[in-house]
Structures are given as C-alpha cells and as structure tokens.
Structure 1
Amino acid sequence: MIHFDSIAKRMAPEGILDFIKEGDDLILPLANGEPVVLLDALEQNVDLLKGVRIHQMHALKQRPYINGEFGDRLRHVSYFLSGATREAYRAGKIELVPSHFRQMPRILRETTKTSLILATASPMDEHGYFSLGTNADYVAAFIGKVPFFLEVNPNMPRTFGGNQVHISQVLGYTEVDRPLVEVLPAPINDKDRKIASYIMDHIPNGATLQVGIGGVPNAVLDALKNHRNIGIHTELLTDGIVDLINKGVITGVEKKTNPGKVIATFALGTRYLYDFMDENSSIELLPVDYVNDPRTIGQEENMISINATTEIDFYGQCASETVAGKYYSSSGGQADFAQGVLFSQNGKGFICLYSTAKDDTISRIRPLLTPGSVVTTLKNEVDYVVTEYGIAHLRGKSLSQRTKELIRIAHPKFREELTFKAKKLGFLV
C-alpha cells in the first residue's frame, strides 16, 4: 500500500529548513539515530538560521556547529559527551546539561521548546509506520506529541517496541543510503576475565541483566554460556547479547516485566547486531524513561546491574564521568540501575574497575576522589565493587568496614599506603 502522505512528504534534505523557526530547539537521538544528512543541510544553510539549538546525547561526528563556528545561529547542547564533543566542551564551545538518562524526556519537555525531532529511521512499512531502528532512547517519548522530520535509511534495521512513527506524525522525510556506524566489541583481557569471574558467582539462572559496553561486560556475557533462562533489561544492546540468544541462554521466560522479550532503549554494535535486530519481534526498544526508571527495574527479581567507574573513594563514591578530575562523558544510566537494583528482590549492582591506572602508577581506589572529580553513583547506592583482586560488598557497611573492604581489593603495591592514609584521615583507627 502506498500512502499519499508519503509521496507528499518526501523531500530533499533542505526541506527541513521550511519547518525551523528562529529560536527553535531541535532534538536528536544519540548514536546511529543521528540524522547525518539533515545536519549537513542545516550547516550548509546556516545563514537562514537564527538562535537554533540542537539537543543531543553522544553525538557521533565532529562538526563545525559543535565547534562553535556558527555562533548563535546554530549551537549544540550536550547531555553526554563523546569523542565528537569532548574537546568542544573543554574549549567552552558547547553547553553540558547534567542528567540521569531516565530524566532526559522530562528535562527536554521542561527546559526546551521541543520544537522538532530530527531522527534516522528505517523505510516505512505497508501500514505507514517508520521505525527508529537502533533507537528509542529519549526521542521515542515524544512520538505523537512533537513533530518529527526523518532521514530514512534502508540500512537502519526495522525494530519493534515503542519506537514506531506513523507517516501522519511526520512533517517530512528525506531518503539516504549510508552505512551505520559500527563499534567492534571491546577485546577481553585477563583482568576483564578475572573481574567477571567474581561477578559470575552472583548470577543465578533466571536472572535479568543490565550490561554496558567494554571488556568486563563482554567477559561476563562470554562466561554465561552455561546459564539458563537469562533475561535482558538494559539500556544498551551489544553484539554479545546476540550470541547468547542464539545459544538459548537468553530466553527471558522468568522476567516479571515483558517476559520473553529482550528490552533495551538503544543498540550500538556491528552489522551482526543490526541484522539480528531487523524484523526481530523478540527485541523491543522502549523509551528510556520506562527502561531506566528504577521503579521499572525494581520489579524484576534477581536484577543484576554491571557498570564501570574510573575511581572510587573510601566513602564508596564512584566518579564515573571524569578522568583525572576532568570531564569525559556524563552520568548516563549508571545511577538509574544502581538505584533500581536496590528495589529488586535479590537484586545486585556491580561497579567494576581496574585497580590501577597508568601502568600501575596510580591507584583507582583512593582515600578521597581526585579534586575535580564528579560523583556519578552515590555512596548510599553502591552495592558491590569489583577489581581484578577481588570483590567488596559495601551496602550496609560502615565507613571503616568499607575502607577495609576496598583496601583488600586494591593493588597490593598500594595497600600499605592506603592503610596509612585511611588511619590519618580517620577512616580506620
């Protein structure tokens, strides 16, 4: 079936300019949801814009507008830094808005005009629906409430869940044919496998997992090959999850919410993942204010959350968005799941880190966080902390108990020094 609206609304990328007014706030999805060609059109016609701001987490591509080359005509507002925005932020060219991932739809509703959503989508189906493909994230929360302009790409997989946009909800769309960005799985080293081995003792059959990206999450997924009936409720889907579905490890039959379904809010991996997601009804991508809501997460039993930090202090404060006291990313969803597992019956949260940095010259376990560091996960919400030297359980422990636990899993060369400083600062007597 060919919808008349689809013919009338198909246009060149420059058609987007007809729908943008002075002072508009444009909202873009993260990662592969980024509409590259539409952004090209905005930059190429920037003289026609005035006071326009683009709001986005994790931009994919460095651009002149991100580097502030167009002044107030077109500016970028970031909610999570990436390689494309990190230096621009440090140079004062863009703004950074602190937020938990789950809060993004509400923050955008309350602090912007929510003028227009620009997003990449799969081609329209016979019923008149586009799919946001690898994404639901925060933009899916605006479907039917805020107008969309789409960049339709046949390389975007058609996925299901809460990310379907009908032609009647679209002001216009342009057609492109470009490959999606692919991120290869992080290699797994011996430290990753050691850290994963400590976590594996706490993952029962039938557990529901949230895992991020990186060597440790990949090592955990690799070690789950003999588990049964694992469920997935996570913000991010990666290649490793596909392998476990194919092996019958991930079934989700014991999940309390969305049983039998793999639930996420966006996906980032290789073509292997994207092809697997295409037309796969067992995977549902849902808005982040549902997926990452601690009240949703807490409904699962045996909810397991696995995330990483860059350093932790004796209080249990985790600085996961700064490196050496300088901003590197932002909060993302780490705190969402750290809070959520505390509501889950038998839920457990794991914060992982290598014990040292810079060739074993710096301990990542510190008496106090590096000056300039930003706390991502609060001391009251940290459950388990894992390094290659062991696992420490902090929930319900006193400060002196936490200090002893953390020193125990620190690199051996720093334990004496950490103990000395702990006594000097009053953490140990």
Structure 2
Amino acid sequence: MNPAQLYEQKLRAKEEAITFIQPNTDIITPILVAEPEALMKQLETFEGLKGNRLFQMFTTREVINADPDKLKIISMFMGAAERKAFKEGKIDLLPNHFSDIPKILKQTARKPVVLTTASPMDDNGWFSLGTNADHTIAMIPHAETVLLEVNEYMPRTYGENQVHISDVTALIENHQPIPEAPPAPEQSEKDKFIGDYVAGLIDNGDILQIGFGSIPNAIIDNLKDYRNLSIHTEMVPEKIMTLYESGALTNENNPFQKGKITATFAFGSRELYDFMHENQDIYMLPVNKTNHVGRLQSADKLVTVNAGVEVDFLGQVNSEKVGGTYWSSTGGQSDFQVASRLSEGGRGVICLYATAKGDSISKIVPSLNPGIPVTTSKNDVDYIVTEYGIARLRGKTIRERTKALIDIAHPKFRDELTFSAKEMGYL
C-alpha cells in the first residue's frame, strides 16, 4: 500500500479517532504549539476515559475540567492555565529536567498514546512536527498509539522531528491557525541595561542558548554586529529572524548540526512560523538531544542565558515559584547551566530584575524561603545579571558572593542586605 492509500485508510473523523484511546493508558501531548486543538477538545467530552493520565506541558488552552478518576492531568511545565489549575488542586506537577522527560515517560507511562499536530504529509509518507520535536518525537517509537492532527498551518521543518504514515495509528484533518505567542512587552530601561551587560559577556564565535521575552530581545538587539555566532537552544525565539538577517549567525561552530540553528520547539508569531517553513537552515531535534548535558558539554564556548525569580547569598537561584505560587518548573535551565559549566570557555548567565512590585521587594535575598525550589544550584551558578551590573559567582567564596550580589541589588536594599549578611556571618 502506498503512502497516499495508507493516509486514506487511517483518516478518521475526530469523534472516531479519539476512541483509539483505551482506559488506563497515558496520553502524551507536546509543549505549546503542537498540542492538537481538535483532538484535545474531543478529549474533553470523550466518555471512554477511565483511569487515564494526561501528560501536558505549557498548554495554550484551558485545562480540561475532568473527573480525576477518569483523567488525571499532570503538567511538566506550567503556563498560565496550568498555574491556575494547580493552585485550585485540579492538576499535579511532575518535577523534571526538560532533557529527562522522554526517559521519565518511557519508564512510567502506561501504554503511551501520543497526540500531536503535524504538517501535511509529503509524497514519501512523511509528516513534520513543525514547530516541535521536544519529548513527543522521542516518545513516538515507544507509543502504542499515535494520533496525528494534520494542519496545513503548521510549518514543515526539517530534522529529527519526522513521522512516517506507517507509524501512525489514526489521523484527522483540522486546518486552523496555530497558537501564536503574545508580543513581548516593550523593552524597559531595565531590559536595555541587562541586555547591554549580557552582550558584553558574549564573544564572536560563541554558541548561544537564549529564550524569549523582553530581556532576551534586548540582548539579541545588541548582537547584530557580532559575527560567526551559532544558535543551539530549546526554543526558537522571535528575534532570531533579526539576528539571522543581520549576518551575525553562521552556525559554523554548532557541533549538533554545522551551519544550522538547532532547537527543540518554537513559539512566536505567524511571521516566525513562515520563516521556519521549509527553511533548511533550521534543524529540529528531540529534547533528550538538545538539552542532554553529556552532549552539550562538548560544545566549546557555550553561552546559556536564562531568567531567575530570585537569588540568595549562596548563589542558589529560584526560577519556579513567585511568592507562594508555583509559577512554572525547571524546564531546561538546569540542563544548560550545568552544560555551560562543563563547556570549555562556557558561560552561564542568569538574568533578573533587582526588584519586583514597584521596587518594593528585593530579588537578591539573604536566603530562599522554606519550600522554595532551587532551580540552579550554588555549585552550578556562574553569572548573575541585574540592571545594576554583573556578579560573577563561580570561583568565589560565600563572603565574596554575598558582596558581589549586594553590589548588583537595588541601592535602596543594599544596607538592609548588608545588615542581614553580617547577622548571618557572611560579612
């Protein structure tokens, strides 16, 4: 049977496709854009659920309101909808390093069912997961059931995110615009200061891991005159198009795929998705490759840039909890922070504003409060950057770290922090 015949044989209405999900099986969906809208909506009303678990990650839709005896929902990284549901006790959170999710799911998922969006099939029977590879493509060979939602709005990308029709259990067609990221906030003066400081830590020829948001955008704006940069990252950020067009990117030093941008997912505007469509200079990889510390450490001059919520005098970084609210999860921060430490000539940068809530709260703190998770450990931390400067913590003692962090805190909190440091015996 040729690919076109297989396609017609496996094409189903969404109401029928969802019935391939059996009781007491575990459903796995991608992060962000490739989460299949029509299949997820059908799942909400599917009466065949019993003892199922849904593993999702940073959903762009409302969390399914389900009886937990029928469907237990487990987030692996929380967005706004999951954050609210977690606070209300409707879902649970699975601690993880992003790189480790495929291994965790292989070890714990029962008769895995993968649900994902894909671009239309080519003449040889191959679908592309488009904006995604993440943990999904790593799980497909281990899945008992693979349900695809084919969407012509999903860009066709290249790399290790291809699925053959022969490996698909059933598919539906649902052609509708895919989720887009909200525009990043306009850069503030704080963002521009941090962008300037971080750009000063980057050299021509470096390999960069960088994310999205106003601070990463400010950093990228400073890199357009650089040369021979490479991008190996988790998420393809919106501003990468600017860097690509400026000539700053050659990706010649990218050991994962020479001459190409490598990443595991993307989230941005339609313009970004169009930029990615059939772009041979972008190569998608599963997260157990993009974020694997053992692979990353072989990349010389790896510079990783991530965000923190707060940092204490020891250098412990919390990037997951805001006050008493669980905000996100570890993601790939720890993966890349450890890798930058092991990389020859590597640098790991954590960015954060010095204050929150109208300068009423210092984000440089003496100690993390009880119950606050440590995302980056004191032994892996390297550079901390605020709008007031750079603190290099790696290789520094506790007293040296304390002083360096107080120096980049908001001036109104420095006396108070100094007093606490003396009370603790750190100064």
Normalised to the residue count of structure 1, the TM-score between the two structures is 0.96
Deviations 1:136-185 (A, max 9, x none): 00011123332311001000000011100000000010001111111123
CA contact (8 A) 2:212 2:238 kept: no
Deviations 1:104-132 (A, max 9, x none): 00011111114210000000011100110
CA contact (8 A) 1:185 1:269 kept: no
Structure 2 counterpart of 1:131:
128
Structure 1 counterpart of 2:276:
277
The percentage of counterpart residues that share the same residue type is: 46
CA contact (8 A) 1:325 1:374 kept: no
Structure 2: how far apart are the matches of 1:88 and 1:107? 23
Is 1:188 the counterpart of 2:187 in the alignment?
Answer: yes
Structure 2: how far apart are the matches of 1:283 and 1:114? 33
Structure 2: how far apart are the matches of 1:354 and 1:63? 30
Structure 2 counterpart of 1:258:
257
Structure 2: how far apart are the matches of 1:91 and 1:18? 29
Q: CA deviation at 1:249?
A: 1.1
Structure 2 counterpart of 1:79:
76
Aligned partner of residue 191 in structure 1, secondary structure: helix
Q: CA deviation at 1:2?
A: 5.5
Q: CA deviation at 1:342?
A: 1.0
CA contact (8 A) 1:21 1:49 kept: yes
The number of residues matched between the two structures is: 424
Structure 2 counterpart of 1:190, which letter? E
List alignment gaps of at least 5 residues for structure 1: none
Report the RMSD for the aligned CA atoms in angstroms.
1.2
Structure 2: how far apart are the matches of 1:131 and 1:256? 23
Structure 2: how far apart are the matches of 1:257 and 1:159? 16
CA contact (8 A) 2:118 2:149 kept: yes
Aligned partner of residue 188 in structure 1, secondary structure: coil
Structure 1 counterpart of 2:94:
97
Q: CA deviation at 1:371?
A: 3.5
CA contact (8 A) 2:62 2:81 kept: yes
Deviations 1:205-226 (A, max 9, x none): 1111000111111111111010
Deviations 1:220-262 (A, max 9, x none): 1111010011100000101100111122111111233311010
Structure 2 counterpart of 1:160:
158
Structure 1 counterpart of 2:244:
245
Aligned partner of residue 142 in structure 2, secondary structure: coil
Structure 1 counterpart of 2:217:
218
Structure 1 counterpart of 2:305:
306
> 5 Å matches for 1:29-428?
29-45=30-46, 47-65=47-65, 69-146=66-143, 147-183=145-181, 184-428=183-427
CA contact (8 A) 2:207 2:229 kept: yes
Structure 1 counterpart of 2:408, which letter? I
Structure 2: how far apart are the matches of 1:158 and 1:381? 37
Structure 2 counterpart of 1:63, which letter? V
Structure 1 counterpart of 2:165, which letter? I
Structure 1: how far apart are the matches of 2:353 and 2:331? 20
Q: CA deviation at 1:279?
A: 0.6
Deviations 1:376-424 (A, max 9, x none): 1101000000000010000011100000000000111111110011000
Deviations 1:293-326 (A, max 9, x none): 1122211111110001010000100010000132
Structure 1: how far apart are the matches of 2:323 and 2:284? 35
Structure 1: how far apart are the matches of 2:149 and 2:244? 30
Q: Compared with structure 1, are the counterparts of its residues 334 and 293 closer, same or farther at alpha carbon in structure 2 (3 Å cutoff)? A: same
CA contact (8 A) 1:186 1:218 kept: no
Structure 2 counterpart of 1:115, which letter? P
Structure 2 counterpart of 1:99, which letter? N
Normalised to the residue count of structure 2, the TM-score between the two structures is 0.97
CA contact (8 A) 1:255 1:301 kept: no
List alignment gaps of at least 5 residues for structure 2: none
Greater Cα offset, 182-191 or 306-315? 182-191
Poorly superposed stretches of 4+, deviation over 4 Å: none
